[in-house]
Amino acid sequence: MRIPISWLRDFAALPDDAGAIADRLAMLGFPVAAIEKRPTITGVVTGRIVALEKHPNADRLQVAQVDIAGGSALTIATAATNVANGQTIAVATVGAQLPALKIERRTMRGVVSHGMMISADELALPADWFEDGILQLDGTTPLGVDVVELFGLAAEVLDVEITTNRPDAMSVIGLARELAASYGVPLRLPSFVNPGEAAEPAAEAPHVILESADCHRYVAQRFDGVSVEAAPAWMRVRLALAGQRPINNLVDVSNYVMLETGQPLHFYDADRIENGKLIVRSAREGETIVTLDGVARKLSPQALVIADEGQPLCLAGLMGGMAGEVASETRAIVLEAANFNGTRIRRMSASLGMRSEASARHEKSLAPALTDIGAARAAQLLSALGATAYRPHEFGASVAPAQPIALPVREAERVLGLAIPKERIERHLRALGCDVASTESNVLSVRPPAWRRDLGIAVDLIEEIARIEGYERIDAVEPSVPPHAISSARFELERRVAHALAALGYHEVITYSLQGASLSERMPRASVAASEPAVEVRNPLSEEQRFLRSSLLPGLLDYLESYGPTVRVFEIGDVFAADQNRILEQTSVAFGFAADPSPQPWHDSSFLRLKGDCEALLRKMTGRQADFSRGAGIGFHPGKTASVSVGDREVGKLGCIDPRVSRAFELEGNAYFCMLDLAALPEYETPRYRPPSKYPSTYRDIALVVGVEVSAREIERAVAAALGDICTAVRVFDEYRGPQAGEDRKSLAVRMTLQRYDATITDEEADAAVSRVLDAVRDEFGATIRA
């Protein structure tokens, strides 16, 4: 909201420094987005044209005598065409400093001109918001007065942000009250007496029917003797400084009162209201209105309108319609100062795609008491313009005084940690408009002012006290945190996994949880079986946000495609699946990389490296050895995928990505990933130490030729079983396929480590053990020794 500081100064004495005022507003809770400085303008005074003649030597020019109440009149030549004898205008005298030039005596076609008549542009006001030519002032303006001082043109304009709970502060008076309370200076309020109160009711009194519960209160007041023309210059200038374009005296009064008091108003041409009856109702389906901006709008029942018996005349609290608007012929008006349900106005505004200064206030639910205040100020200004005010009529709820709030004096200290004397508490609350009475000695009975709907309970008052006192007065204190039983285990688990993967050489990335069809359908379109239907977002901003991911894989493959094949990545994040009406969410861990295909199709060292990382990770997290068996997974190569288990629980999958999927993601080479379900990981099992044997170990290597379908794990298990206790380790360490093994056969090299705990193992014992092994594998697998 744009606030000229000169307007604020009408209501309270404030410091000269605009920066200080802006800082104070920020510390009251109203951040200032910008401070607009005004250019320096000096030497411009009010004057009256007392004589005007054509210029003797120039057709386009006129020569005026201008009385600036400083001795003899000034001779001033002008090219303006809107000047006339008797006008009151602004004149820049010799030596005056304007934004673009300095005024000197000038000879214009033989006539010496001792100054220049001023237009809005020279006062740094928007030229197209004012009359073409010289700015016209009120006939009652005193002469010889500095115009900048008169209109407050030197002071800065603040752009203030108001939080949604303080619509009362979307007004000059509202902010002036805040500053006065904070600086501890008196607030000089104008009178809020409506001149129409003392008048008779109008013969054709406006009648308003409230059909909608969303209009809580409606004040209607008739004015006769209205003539539509330009508003007085001081009002137009002040509106322009506040960023509001002057239109005519009636529209300007309504905008002026809205900016000053915070109550939006609307005026109707009284003679264009059918039967003098206004109805506040929901629009009917298909009803139309042409609003003041010339746009024809089709309405639904969501819109709230003020209508006469013939048609809607106004979108409530938002914008007036052209039918019923004041025009140059208007002689009588009906003023509307109304109070609406903020949510209704906000929804109407959103559905029509319209906003206005009025709706920006109404949508925050104004206080009903503002209606009387707004009507009174408008009535004062309209009367000063010569209109006749009739008695205002109220419809709907009357303004009830607020309920008093009991505020124990010590409560402020309890909440804020700052002891504030009772007198200061009372002073702050009264400065904000509260009625404060002491009941017992340490409980105050506080009645909030009628325009503050946001003050309802004791902490609301405590916030006010803190704001006026200044948050900076509260000292920072270290809390001592009492013990509690809340666990951080789940966070710590995820943290340990992340650091373990980083230690294994993977880089953590974060990908999008929301995906478009193009990403989430790449796997199904690659003829790989689709998973369950994805959870859909009802209101995405774009198609790329349509679905929640069901797996980390597409996002990570997309990452590899974007950032190159050499990166090793991991991600820990939630994935989603739809299960009838429920959403299943679980935390998934994925890590992997892209690599060139291995030279031997049956031995994949990239797979084995990933497997090693997985084993190392699971050993670190669970203290146990992971098991790997043939498995399958969506997006994984059907022959190169393992199911990963710890103990008897499956914890995830690991393998080469299905080449159809890799190709769909335009990856060169293969991709390898491990995906784990974080919640499935068993608890860490502390290892138990077993001291090594005092006796030396020995080893035997054998090469067994078996069918290609026999797994290394089966061989290891069979060998260990056959060896018994003297075996401390069995490990398949090489695989060979080729002519020496035979067709559909392979050779597995096995190292057996043998050791006894009670004596040194002898060669004979070792040899005998190997014999047992050979018998066992021959029987179970038809294994032979490699030649």
Partner 1 sequence: MTELAEIISDLQRRFAADADAADGEHSLENLRIEYLGRNGEVTKIRRTIGTLPAEQRPEAGKAINDAVAAMEARLDAVHAVLQSHALEEELATSIDVTFPAEMPQVGSIHPVRRIIEQTCDYFMRHGFAVVVGPEAEPDYYNFDALNIPSDHPAREGFDSFWLSDTVLLRPHTSPLQIRTMQQHKPPIAIVAPGKCFRRDAVDARHLFQFHQVEGLLVAEGIHFGHLKGMLTGLCRELFGAEQSVRFRPSYFPFTEPSAEVDTTCPKCKGTGAAAAAPCNMCGGSGWIELGGAGMVHPNVLREVGYDPEVYSGWAFGSGVERLGLPRYQVDDIRRFINSDPDFLEQLS
Q: Give the DSSP letter of residue 291.
A: B
Question: Does the footprint of partner 1 cover residue 492 (CB under 8 A)?
Answer: yes
Q: Which stretch binds partner 1 (CB under 8 A): 115-123, 183-191, 468-476, 702-710?
A: 468-476
- 148-167 residues in contact with partner 1 (CB under 8 A) are 163-166
Q: Does 442 bind partner 1 (CB under 8 A)?
A: no
**Contact (CB, 8 A) for 54 and 8:** no
351 is a site residue for partner 1 (CB under 8 A): no
Binding residue (CB under 8 A) for partner 1 from 72, 191, 488, 580: 488
Q: Which is nearer to partner 1, 27 or 526 (CB)?
A: 27
Residues, the chain, total?
Answer: 787
Q: Binding of partner 1 at residue 343 (CB under 8 A)?
A: yes
Q: Is 208 in the site for partner 1 (CB under 8 A)?
A: no
Q: In terms of Cα–Cα distance, which of 313, 308, 267 is closest to 291?
A: 313
Task: Work out whether 367 is an interface residue with partner 1 (CB under 8 A).
Answer: no
Q: Which stretch binds partner 1 (CB under 8 A): 198-206, 267-275, 276-284, 577-585?
A: 577-585
Helix (H, G, I), strand (E, B) or coil at 61: coil
- The minimum distance between CB 488 and partner 1, in angstroms, equals 4
Token pair of 512 as six digits: 């999008």
For helices 233-241 and 249-261, the axis angle rounded to 10 degrees is 50
d(CA 235, CA 253): 8
**568-579 and 507-508 as β-strands: parallel, antiparallel, unpaired?**
parallel
Q: In the set 106, 114, 331, 347, which binds partner 1 (CB under 8 A)?
A: 347
x/- binding map, residues 443-462, to partner 1, per CB under 8 A?
--------------x-xx-x
Selected binder of partner 1 within 139, 524, 540, 647 (CB under 8 A):
540
Shortest distance (Å) from residue 544 CB to partner 1: 10
Alpha-carbon dihedral angle through residues 384, 386, 387, 388, given to the nearest 10 degrees: 90
Q: Give the residue, chosen from 2, 10, 31, 620, that forms a contact with partner 1 under the rule CB under 8 A.
A: 31
Question: Least distance in Å: CB of 519 to partner 1?
Answer: 14
Q: Tell me if 565 contacts partner 1 by CB under 8 A.
A: no
Other residues' Cβ atoms within 10 Å of the Cβ of residue 646: 22
CB atoms within 10 A of CB 412: 26
Measured from the CB of residue 467, what is the shortest distance to partner 1 in angstroms?
Answer: 5
The reply on whether position 475 binds partner 1 by CB under 8 A is: yes
In the DSSP assignment, the letter for residue 475 is P
> For partner 1, which residue of 13, 275, 471, 685 counts as binding (CB under 8 A)?
471
Work out how close the CB of 528 gets to partner 1 at its nearest, in angstroms, rounded to a whole number.
Answer: 26
Interface with partner 1 by CB under 8 A: which range of 145-153, 200-208, 498-506, 663-671? 498-506
When asked if residue 576 is in the footprint of partner 1 (CB under 8 A), the reply is yes
User: Residue 482 has what DSSP assignment?
Assistant: P
548 binds partner 1 (CB under 8 A): yes
Given candidates 296, 400, 477, 529, which one binds partner 1 under the rule CB under 8 A?
477
3-state secondary structure of 12: coil
DSSP 100-134: S-B---EEETTEEE-EEE--GGGGTS-GGGS-SSS
Residue 295 near partner 1 by CB under 8 A = no
Question: Looking at beta carbons only, is 53 or 579 nearer to partner 1?
Answer: 579
Q: Is the dihedral of CA 663, 667, 668, 674 positive or negative?
A: negative
Pairing assessment for the beta strands 443-447 and 435-438 based on DSSP bridges: antiparallel
Q: According to the binding rule CB under 8 A, does residue 579 interact with partner 1? A: no
Query: Among 400, 481, 529, 787, which residue interacts with partner 1 (rule: CB under 8 A)?
Result: 481
Q: Which is nearer to partner 1, 482 or 739 (CB)?
A: 482
**Residue 538 is a binding residue for partner 1 (CB under 8 A):** yes
Q: Can you tell me whether residue 28 is helix, strand or coil?
A: helix
Burial class (CB within 10 angstroms; exposed 0-12, middle 13-18, buried 19+) of 31: middle
Give the total of residues touching partner 1 (CB under 8 A).
86
By CB under 8 A, name the one of 559, 700, 732, 736 that touches partner 1: 559
Nearer to partner 1, 536 or 543 (CB): 536
Whether the CA torsion 577, 583, 584, 590 is positive or negative: it is positive
Q: Footprint of partner 1 on residues 80-139 (CB under 8 A)?
A: none
Say whether residue 532 binds partner 1 (CB under 8 A): no
- Does position 517 bind partner 1 by CB under 8 A? no
Minimum distance of partner 1 from residue 393's CB (angstroms): 29
Long-range contacts of 229-236 (CB under 8 A, 24+ apart): 230/131, 230/136, 231/256, 231/385, 232/137, 232/138, 232/385, 233/135, 233/136, 233/137, 233/138, 233/141, 233/151, 234/138, 234/150, 234/151, 235/381, 236/129, 236/130
Binders of partner 1 in range 397-436 (CB under 8 A) = 413-418
569/752 with CB nearer partner 1: 569
Angle at 371 between CA 366 and CA 372, to 5 degrees: 140
Applying CB under 8 A, which of residues 87, 119, 511, 520 lies at the interface with partner 1? Answer: 511
C-alpha angle 770-772-778 in degrees, rounded to nearest 5: 100
Binding-site member from 4, 29, 47, 374 for partner 1 (CB under 8 A): 29
Q: Which is nearer to partner 1, 72 or 542 (CB)?
A: 542
Give the integer Cα–Cα distance in Å for 246 and 236. 6
Distances in Å between the alpha carbon of 637 and those of 126, 611, 634? 71, 15, 9
Among 101, 185, 537, 768, binds partner 1 (CB under 8 A): 537
**Residue number with CB closer to partner 1 (194 or 349):** 349
Contacts of 364 (CB under 8 A, 6+ apart): 164, 165, 167, 170, 342
Q: Does 483 bind partner 1 (CB under 8 A)?
A: yes
> Hey, which residues between 734 and 763 contact partner 1 (CB under 8 A)?
none
Does 690 engage in binding with partner 1 (CB under 8 A)? no
Sheet with strand 304-307: strands edge to edge? 207-210, 277-282, 304-307, 312-315, 319-320
- The runs of H, that is alpha helices, within 521-676 are 522-525, 553-563, 605-622, 659-664
59, 286, 419, 491: residue in contact with partner 1 (rule CB under 8 A)? 491
**The only residue of 390, 570, 607, 672 in contact with partner 1, by rule CB under 8 A:** 570
Q: Which of 498, 732, 749, 776 binds partner 1 (CB under 8 A)?
A: 498
For the bound state, the minimum distance from the C-beta of residue 403 to partner 1, rounded and expressed in Å, comes to 16
Piece of 28-36, 275-283, 744-752, 762-770 that binds partner 1 (CB under 8 A): 28-36
